[in-house]
Amino acid sequence: MALALLAGFQGHIRERLIAETPHLTVRPEGRGEFLPADGLEEKISQLPGVLRVTPFVRGRVWVTQSSRSTPADAIGREGLSGIVMDPPLAGALALLPGVEVTLVSSRTRLSPLGPVPIVLSLPLSGIVPPVTSRRKPELELPIAEARRLMALPLDAASGYEIRMKDPRDPSRMAEEIRLCAGRGVSVSTWEDSNRPLVAALKLEKIVLFTTISLIVIVAGLNLAAITAVLAATRAGDAAVLAVLGAPPSTVGRVFLAAGVLLGLAGTAGGAVFGTTLAHVLDRFRLIPLPTRLYSIDHVPFRLEPADLAAVVVLSCVWSVLVALGPSRAVARMNTVEVLRANG
Amino acid sequence: MPTVDPLLKAEAISKSFGSGDSLVKVFESVDLTVLPGDFVAIMGPSGCGKSTLLHLLAGLDDPDSGVVAVEGRSWQGRSLEERARMRGETIGFVFQFHHLLPELSVEENVALPLLLAGWKEERALGEARECLDRVGMMPRHSAFPRTLSGGERQRTALARAVVRKPRLLLCDEPTGSLDAAHAAEVFELLTVVARERAGAVVVVTHDRAWARRCATMLHLAAGGLNPSVEDGPPGAPYGNPGPSGSR
Ligand SMILES: Nc1ncnc2c1ncn2[C@@H]1O[C@H](COP(=O)(O)OP(=O)(O)OP(=O)(O)O)[C@@H](O)[C@H]1O
Ligand SMILES: [Mg+2]
């Protein structure tokens, strides 16, 4: 149940990451640009599994408005008409959508007066929170303007962003691109570029599984107590079995079976209940979330068969281990004393 | 006189519980020989060790000294598993309280020793019903023990004790928990059924009248088992004539 909840949220986060960040990013090693003459864009887009290759241009700029200015990472992409920036960046300069923003490049161009910085004015078309938290504020602008700001030739690119048909296993694709692009090119996957987040998701899962294991173990101890009480209250019957010719091993097995059956029943009940609840809650979106705070409007549940199997196996193995103790104690009891105690 | 191999032979057994100051000597140098067809009653005051003696005979406990052998095979030096098998094959047990398993029906309770011995369920239940018929419990064969009267429970317990046709039937006050009428009924059945299905019977009882009807009547005391002063009359209605106890 809890794992399904976590898997639901994690699945949601991964989907958003996959949807909104490039699956693979190809950049030249060191400083430099790709030029169309390299033919790299062509080569990559012909690899099987590649959906789309888009160039981008990156660089540092100063964002200026009135008398204030602040540095930012700028990234030029295709298909934009104005500037899109992170809320903190917009907040720092008190910018509102629609205003003209002046970008000052770190590159210079030569003028009759000597080298002067390249300056560009563009309207702010949107303020959009990033999918993942970034260390530095960023802004996006149309790629053509970015090339001008960075003093790059037409059609040059700081790198290519690649979207894949099936983004779940990006590292194999990355390897292929590395082979085809040759040396001097670095390829990073969406998992690499969101490494802290991906690692946090994994850690979260491990922590949750540990917690569930502890719960199962505590429940198992409870089962041990129940089996022990069962063994104590039914010791008289066990003694009768012994008198009727049941060897200790058989008597032990009877109680072991009782304990294990109890454990299995509990496991099965829990699994069915959890699965059903997770399914119903997800299907009918029963737990709403405030959309202002979360990127999704209901609590998602996703039951991974592997998660379920792990919990079930753990629970079954543990109930056998736990029932073993009391049942062996019954098998080794002193029949005469039990008979005497039970009249 | 042709010698018959004894079913049960206890030689010079003694038993005590505890140690040091709290040592309780229950009895010393008890001898008992039970031949096929014997019907032995053991009497004695409460606490003289009658139950303890039966436990030793059934190999559920070990004597401090002396030897107990069933059909020439001694209990001593055998593993619990081996004892259980031997006990299942040769000994039936009836307790003062019925000790039926509450989750099982009457016929399942009776079939239990056979099932433990590895019989097929079908056959075991068939045999169980035959025994139930002998003790008049057939009409209640599918009832559960909690719905039975004390006498009915004890009759069921008797059926369970003889279902495997034990060579030796040990009874520890089988009528101790019943009123006089039911006790008479159960005792009557015991004598009849035991002669049909069991090789020999050792019964502990406080009922002097019934004990007198047994072939052999012994008295347990700290010093051993002695023929009772009022020994069963020659030609007693059940079992072999003549004492076969302490000799
Ligand atoms: N485990 C034990 N520890 C100490 N003493 C014991 C133990 N078991 C039995 N005894 C003692 O041994 C004696 C014989 O007990 P036992 O139950 O055999 O008597 P009994 O003749 O069957 O009595 P009753 O007629 O009341 O059933 C008793 O004095 C009892 O206190
Ligand atoms: Mg007793």
B170-199 pLDDT, tens digit each:
988 888 777 787 788 888 888 888 777 778
Contact residues, chain A, for B55 at CB < 8 Å:
336, 339
| Mean pLDDT along residues A35-61 | 79
How many Cβ atoms are within 10 Å of A80's Cβ, its own excluded?
A: 19
Atom 31, ligand 1: which residue's CA is nearest?
B47
Contact A246 B97 (CB under 8 A): no
Residues A209 and A131 in one domain: no
Residues A184 and A207 in one domain: no
Query: Is A8 inside a domain boundary?
Result: no
Residues A181 and A156 in one domain: yes
Alpha-carbon distance B158 to B135, whole Å? 8
Secondary structure class of A315 (helix, strand, coil): helix
Alpha-carbon distance A228 to B58, whole Å? 28
- Give me chain A's average pLDDT, please: 80
How many Cβ atoms are within 10 Å of A267's Cβ, its own excluded?
A: 20
Is A261 within 8 Å of chain B by CB? no
Chain CA centroid to CA B123, Å: 25
Give the model's pLDDT for residue B236.
Answer: 41
Residues A182 and A255 in one domain: no
Query: Is A238 inside a domain boundary?
Result: yes
In degrees and rounded to multiples of 5, residue A111 shows phi and psi of -130, 170
Query: Is A13 inside a domain boundary?
Result: no
What are residue B172's DSSP bridge partners?
Answer: B204
Tokens of B58: 């059934």
For the stretch A327-330, contacts whose Cβ atoms lie closer than 8 Å and that sit 24 or more positions apart, written own/partner, are A327/A227, A327/A231, A327/A252, A327/A253, A327/A254, A327/A255, A327/A256, A327/A258, A327/A259, A328/A252, A329/A228, A329/A231, A330/A231, A330/A235, A330/A238, A330/A251, A330/A252, A330/A255
Residues A39 and A174 in one domain: yes
Give the model's pLDDT for residue A135.
Answer: 54
Chain CA centroid to CA A41, Å: 30
Residues A44 and A163 in one domain: yes
Provide CB contacts within 8 A for A206, sequence distance 6+: none
Alpha-carbon distance A273 to A286, whole Å? 16
Give the model's pLDDT for residue A230.
Answer: 83
Are the beta carbons of B155 and B137 closer than 8 angstroms?
yes
Q: Which of A237, A245, A343 sits opposite B87 (nearest CB)?
A: A245
Secondary structure class of B232 (helix, strand, coil): coil
Comparing CA positions, the residue from A261, A276, A277, A275 lying closest to residue A316 is A261
Domain region containing A29: 22-193
Read off the pTM: 0.65
Q: Which residue of B has its CA nearest to A336?
A: B60
| Mean pLDDT along residues A16-28 | 75
Residue B243, pLDDT above cutoff 50: no
B80 CA to middle of ligand 1, Å? 23
Chain CA centroid to CA A262, Å: 36
Angle (nearest 5°) at CA A310 between A194 and A284: 70
- Give me chain B's average pLDDT, please: 81
Q: Which of A237, A250, A343 sits opposite B101 (nearest CB)?
A: A237
Query: Is A215 inside a domain boundary?
Result: yes
Residue A292, pLDDT above cutoff 70: no
Q: Please give, rounded to a whole number of angstroms, the shortest distance from the CA of B161 to a CA of chain A.
A: 8
Secondary structure class of B63 (helix, strand, coil): coil
**pLDDT band per the 50, 70, 90 thresholds, residue A260:** confident
Residues A212 and A337 in one domain: yes
Helices A195-233, A2-20: inter-axial angle, 10-degree rounding:
170
Is B99 within 8 Å of chain A by CB? yes
Flag the least confident range among A103-112, A128-137, A181-190.
A128-137
DSSP 8-state assignment for residue A153: P
Residue A102, pLDDT above cutoff 80: yes
Residues A189 and A206 in one domain: no
CA-B220 nearest atom, ligand 1:
21
Comparing CA positions, the residue from B33, B43, B42, B38 lying closest to residue B8 is B33
Chain CA centroid to CA A86, Å: 22
Contact A243 B93 (CB under 8 A): yes
Q: Please give, rounded to a whole number of angstroms, the shortest distance from the CA of B121 to a CA of chain A.
A: 16
| Mean pLDDT along residues A229-239 | 83
Residue A290, pLDDT above cutoff 80: no
| Mean pLDDT along residues A250-274 | 86
Give the model's pLDDT for residue B247.
Answer: 40
Contact A240 B89 (CB under 8 A): no
Tokens of B179: 């009123």
Residue to mutate, B26, B94, B220, B225, ligand 1, most ligand atoms under 8 Å from C-beta: B26
Residues A147 and A170 in one domain: yes
Comparing CA positions, the residue from A39, A325, A37 lying closest to residue A182 is A39
Number of domains in chain A: 2
Is B62 within 8 Å of chain A by CB? no
CA-B48 nearest atom, ligand 1:
21
Chain CA centroid to CA B119, Å: 23
Residues A178 and A29 in one domain: yes
Q: Could you say which of A159, A193, A227 is where a domain stops?
A: A193
Give the model's pLDDT for residue A288.
Answer: 76
Query: Is A92 inside a domain boundary?
Result: yes
Residue count of chain A: 343
CA-B49 nearest atom, ligand 1:
18
- The separation between the first and the last C-alpha atoms of chain B, rounded to the nearest angstrom, is 16
Give the model's pLDDT for residue B244.
Answer: 44
Residue B230, pLDDT above cutoff 60: no
What percent of chain A has pLDDT above 70? 91
Q: Write out the H or E segment, with its range, that includes residue A310.
A: helix A305-331
Query: Is A245 inside a domain boundary?
Result: yes
What percent of chain A has pLDDT above 90? 0
| Mean pLDDT along residues B53-76 | 87
Query: Is A31 inside a domain boundary?
Result: yes
Give the model's pLDDT for residue A69.
Answer: 83
Residues A185 and A214 in one domain: no
Residue count of chain B: 247
Q: Write out the H or E segment, with its range, that includes residue B180.
A: helix B180-197
Alpha-carbon distance A102 to A313, whole Å? 62
Q: Could you say which of A143, A164, A193 is where a domain stops?
A: A193
Q: Please give, rounded to a whole number of angstroms, the shortest distance from the CA of B72 to a CA of chain A.
A: 19
| Mean pLDDT along residues B213-228 | 73
Using the structure block, give the residue that is written with the tokens 């569930």: A212
Comparing CA positions, the residue from A77, A128, A70, A134 lying closest to residue A103 is A70
Residue A108, pLDDT above cutoff 50: yes
Cβ-count burial of B170 within 10 angstroms (0-12 exposed, 13-18 middle, 19+ buried)? buried
Fold of B36-56+82-217+225-242: Rossmann fold (3.40.50)
Q: Which of A241, A246, A336 sits opposite B60 (nearest CB)?
A: A336
ipTM: 0.76
Residue A251, pLDDT above cutoff 80: yes
DSSP 8-state assignment for residue A301: -
- The ligand 1 site (C-beta within 6 Å) comprises A 337, 340; B 17-18, 24, 26, 44, 46-52
Q: Write out the H or E segment, with its range, that includes residue B172.
A: strand B168-172
Alpha-carbon distance A154 to B143, whole Å? 96
Q: Please give, rounded to a whole number of angstroms, the shortest distance from the CA of A245 to a CA of chain B.
A: 4
DSSP 8-state assignment for residue B27: E
Contact residues, chain A, for B84 at CB < 8 Å:
242, 245-248, 250
Higher pLDDT pick, B117 / A193: B117
Higher pLDDT pick, A57 / B2: A57
